[in-house]
Amino acid sequence: MVSQDSCNNIALSQSSRDYNKIYNLIMHNDLAEVKLKLQDMHYADFVELFDQAPVKLHKKILDLAPDDLKKQALEGLSYDSRISIVKILGFQKTASLLKELETQDIIGFIEDLDDDIIQNIIIHLSTDKKKHVIEGLTYPENTAGRVMEKQYVSLPEHWTVAQSINYVASDNTSKNFYAAIVVDTKQRPVGNLPLFKLLKCASDCLINQVMNTNIKVDTLTDLNEVSYIFKHYELTIVPVVSKIGKLVGTISINNMLYILEEQAEEDIMHLAGVQKYSLFANVFSAAKHRLPWLFFNFITALSVAQTITHFEETISKYILLASTMPVIASMGGNTGTQVMTITVRALTNKYINYSNFFKVFIREILICSFNGFLLALTSFLCMMIMHKILILVLLLVQQ
């Protein structure tokens, strides 16, 4: 994910949030002032600035922004902004900015772009980057292999704490270092060692005596499972292994924060039956993905309408009853939304499984039935009070 190494002054970046002022400066051709502001800007603010800017200003913003700022901001940009950057810079220049990012950041930038754009960017990457990116894209979406970091610190289990600290202090280690993976002679992870623990232990102590219990995932593990493992075991890093158990990458807590945010967004999207990028997708593609959910709701609405037709004669005689129909439809929809929200979150957090599914199912039916009874009774009383239909009720009872 996007690197957190920026040493820019945060206070300065906060003062640069008046993006409209920057847009006006560009349109009035006061480019020197804009360039000065961009030099002091934090990359997270640049992402917002670029995403919110009119497309016609994108080229000038890119021309004025320092390369380091553009590199750090690339992966956090919206789909539309990334497409705009590729069109403005071209494949080769875009690849030159991407090549200094970590593999998972490059994949995050290109994975949802059109296939021809992906291929044209990849061919301009260095041999190593190209190999790692292609490997990452071969794994299914939303799996550990797709988001794993290829830059990590691994330490042989027979090393002492002193040897490990000397290695960590060298230039060979990853710039974002939270914990090391302890491996055996066959490069299979046997544990992990947080940095704070490494620094607190005696220098002559073997790291296999102080490492944490080994918890690992394979490249095909679903990200929902990975996030559950992180939360359940309070991890800072988890090793990712191949089919034969060999260490091929890691997922750090820094990376996991972005994954959790994306999953929360995905859960919200699922509640509405839409996809993450439906705002930016082709009109027909977006419509195709939204239609099944709408069609399902259409069928349920038809079933309600069909039920109402059985009472058509009664409603035609006592037209006042028709006023309750919107209330029934609204309450039914709200009840369904409540159940769906609770169920989606429960499935995500593994609160629902095969052993308790039937119990949860019956419980929700009872809750909905109880609430339905109370609301029906309340509606009945309100109708009598507001419309004085007690006589109407008596007539219906007589029939």
- At 298-334, the pLDDT tens digits run 887 787 777 777 777 777 776 666 777 777 777 777 8
Residues 164 and 260 in one domain: yes
* Best CA proximity match to 194, nearest among 177, 170, 209, 208: 177
Residues 103 and 162 in one domain: no
Asked whether residue 380 is domain-assigned, the answer is: yes
Q: How far is CA 24 from CA 13, 54, 58, 77, in A?
A: 18, 11, 13, 22
Residues 102 and 25 in one domain: yes
Task: Give the pLDDT confidence score for residue 281 in this predicted structure.
Answer: 56
Residues 37 and 132 in one domain: yes
Residues 184 and 115 in one domain: no
Asked whether residue 5 is domain-assigned, the answer is: no
Q: Mean pLDDT across the chain, nearest whole number?
A: 83
Residues 127 and 161 in one domain: no
Q: Read off the pLDDT of residues 345-355 as tens digits, 9 standing for 90 and up.
A: 787 777 887 88
Task: Yes or no: say if 153 and 180 are a contact pair by the CB < 8 Å rule.
Answer: yes
Both tokens of residue 69? 């700022």
Residues 126 and 158 in one domain: no
Q: In what order do the strands lie in the sheet with 237-241?
A: 217-218, 237-241, 247-252
Asked whether residue 168 is domain-assigned, the answer is: yes
Task: Give the pLDDT confidence score for residue 168 in this predicted structure.
Answer: 86
- Domain boundary at 109, 138, 167, which? 138
Q: Read off the pLDDT of residues 68-126 as tens digits, 9 standing for 90 and up.
A: 999 999 988 988 899 999 999 999 999 999 988 888 889 989 998 999 999 999 999 98
Rounded-to-integer distance, Cα 268 and Cα 264, Å: 6
Q: In what order do the strands lie in the sheet with 179-183?
A: 154-156, 179-183, 189-194
Residue count of the chain: 399
Residues 43 and 71 in one domain: yes
Asked whether residue 147 is domain-assigned, the answer is: no
Asked whether residue 3 is domain-assigned, the answer is: no
**DSSP line for 246-274:** -EEEEEEHHHHHHHHHHHHHHHHHHHHT-
Burial of 45 (0-12, 13-18, 19+ CB in 10 A): buried
pTM over 0.85: no
- Provide the domain count of the chain: 3
Parallel, antiparallel or unpaired: strands 217-218 and 189-194: unpaired
Task: Yes or no: say if 153 and 171 are a contact pair by the CB < 8 Å rule.
Answer: no
Which residues 6+ apart lie within 8 Å of 51 measured at CB? 77, 78, 80, 81
Residues 15 and 127 in one domain: yes
Most confident listed range (72-76, 119-123, 264-268, 286-290): 119-123
Residues 65 and 21 in one domain: yes
381 versus 374: the higher-pLDDT residue is 374
Residues 17 and 114 in one domain: yes
Q: 130 is in which domain, residue-wise? A: 10-138
Task: Yes or no: say if 155 and 167 are a contact pair by the CB < 8 Å rule.
Answer: yes
Asked whether residue 382 is domain-assigned, the answer is: yes
Q: Read off the pLDDT of residues 129-141 as tens digits, 9 standing for 90 and up.
A: 899 999 999 999 8
For the domain that residue 22 is a member of, what is the CATH number?
Answer: 1.25.60.10
Asked whether residue 149 is domain-assigned, the answer is: no
- Domain boundary at 107, 138, 169, which? 138
Residues 15 and 132 in one domain: yes
* Best CA proximity match to 171, nearest among 151, 191, 193: 151
Asked whether residue 4 is domain-assigned, the answer is: no
150 versus 14: the higher-pLDDT residue is 150
